[in-house]
Structure 1
Amino acid sequence: MTNYVLVAGAWLGGWAWDEVAEELRRGGHTVLPLTLSGLAEKRDVPAGQQTHVRDVVDAVEHAGLTDVVLVGHSYSGIPVGQAAERIGDRLAHVVFVDSDVPSDGKAFASAPWAGQLGATITEHGGFWPPLTAPECGGQGLTETQIQRFVDGATPHPGATLTEPAELTRPLGELPATYVKCLLDGAEPNDDVVELLKSDRWRLVEMETGHWPMFSQPGELARVLAEVPARP
């Protein structure tokens, strides 16, 4: 059986994975949904980009996990991608769910929208405010699922978005799966397209929106359960 560490994207905590975690546990897997510093129940903890990387690495090491599948959704693909290379032989696979991917020296808040996001963070006291219900439309979510998102979301610490990623090896060397959610765009971004040229990366498509842990938790759990074993 596999050890999964699940990390949700901006504004969300470990709670976002409840339904996915339940499905994976039914299959006999060990599942650790992780809340990053500055979010949800950890909202009072100061956080920068490398804080989030350490959150993931520390969770794996403190739990003594091996054969780990790290899963990063949306923003969290950036810290998860960095953590994946830092946990060494503990890593079996990394899954990026409709996510950004880290690039050495590059921040989440990069051109062309760095200025706009930076201004928003400044206006909100150093945080990125969560999306409103109308802004979640068009992503395959029911009204109940949207309300769950809105009710559970917390402001995202801005420093995690503006500080650069730190990589020591090419990301394409890691065994990885990229899950593209098609309602959020038919194609991955250019960085991901380049990484998918690696023979260690594969692409999986889901007919849903950007938050499949809410819209299609059973299908997402199935995709994660079918991740290739350690190469």
Structure 2
Amino acid sequence: MTTTANPPLIILIAGHWLGAWAWNEVLEHLAPRHARAIAVTLPGLNGDDPQRAARNLDDQAAAVLDVITQMGVTEDQPATLVAHSGANAPVSLVLDQHPELVRRVVWVDSGPVAPGSAFGAGLPEDLEELPLPSFDVLAEQASLEGLSAEVLERFRRRAVPEPGPVLRQRVELTNSARRKVRTTLVCCSIPGAQVLELARAGHPMFAEVANIEHLDVIDLPTGHWPMWSRPRDLAKTIQSAASRAN
């Protein structure tokens, strides 16, 4: 595998209910090999923000672009974005708005969203936020495999309710260049072969995967939160993807 001499900046973005803290263990494993890796907390997921429940996907995409700008990312030196789970919506917006600033996107048990889609389009308009559900309910939606009681307790303690506007907003995408960005799918709770099969069949959650022009698929079998269940392996996978020259 060909690698770059100076791997680009890696920006880690966690999914619903999570902030930058969710990547702490992954960053520990990345640091010895890749000093230019940072994690961000999306608007709406900072518990100290009094306006957080009003934040939307546009705010989140703008925040990621602000980090990209602040870190000196350019078209000549683009960044690698790592998006876990529900971070796929704001990151899809970033890819649509400025694909030239992203050399590779790594979807962690996630993938690009389809134009016009919304995570929770049917949620009531008066729902201000969605708290982390009970783990019994959550386990029906996403695999908790590999998470200890200690990890689950930390998840519960640190989780921030997801803003209603983020969940209801439809993602408007118009720039086909987003599909040209080199892409790595890290498949955890669903095997990669099954994801590709669902994409070819036009499944709403995976249909956009079929439109990606440069795609690598990596299986990392575990639950939906591999940053906690397999942090060392996830860090190696991210570092390898970010270091690829093509």
> TM tier, shorter chain?
0.7 to 0.9
Distance 1:151 1:183 in 2: 27
User: Matched residues in 2 for 1:180 and 1:90: separation?
Assistant: 24
Counterpart in the other structure of 1:192: 206
Give the TM-score normalised by the residue count of structure 2: 0.81
User: C-alpha separation between the residues in 2 aligned to 1:183 and 1:196?
Assistant: 16
Within 5 A, what are the aligned runs for 1:126-137? 126-135=128-137, 137=139
Q: Partner residue of 2:4?
A: none
Which residue, 151, 160, 163 being the options, matches 2:166? 160
The answer to whether the Cα contact below 8 Å between 2:183 and 2:212 also exists between their aligned partners in 1 is: no
Q: Which runs of 5+ in 2 are unaligned?
A: 1-6
Alignment partners' CA distance in 2, 1:7 and 1:197: 23
Alpha-carbon separation, structure 1, partners of 2:224 and 2:213: 26
Q: How many matched pairs?
A: 222
1:184: how far off?
8.9
1:3-42 aligned within 5 A:
3-41=9-47
**RMSD over aligned Cα, in angstroms?**
2.4
Measure how far apart 1:60 and its partner are: 0.5
Structure 1: distance between partners of 2:27 and 2:66 = 20
Q: TM-score, normalised by structure 1?
A: 0.85
Structure 1 equivalent of residue 218 of structure 2: 204
Q: Distance in 2 between matches of 1:198 and 1:39?
A: 29
| Equivalent pair of 2:114/2:207 in contact (CA under 8 Å) | no
Q: CA deviation at 1:223?
A: 0.8
Per the alignment, residue 184 of structure 2 pairs with: 177
1:226 counterpart SS class: helix
1:55 maps onto 2:63 in alignment:
yes
**Which residue identity does 1:177 align to in structure 2?**
T
* AA partner of residue 91 (structure 2): V
Match of 1:214, SS? Answer: helix
Tell me if structure 1 keeps the 8 A contact 2:192–2:218.
no
Aligned to 2:80, the other structure's residue is in SS state strand
Residue pair 1:10, 1:156 contacting (<8 A) in 2 also = yes
What percent of counterpart residues are identical?
Answer: 29
Deviating more after overlay: 33-42 vs 133-142: 133-142
* 8 A contact 1:12–1:154 mirrored in 2: yes
**Contact in 1 for aligned 2:112/2:209 (Cα 8 Å):** no
Report the secondary structure of 2:31's partner residue. Answer: helix
Listed one character per residue, the Cα deviations across residues 14-67 of structure 1 (whole Å, up to 9, x for unaligned) are: 000001112111103311201011113454333111111111111111221333
Identify unmatched segments of 5+ residues in structure 1.
none
Amino acid at match of 2:87: S
- In 2, distance between residues paired with 1:180 and 1:62? 31
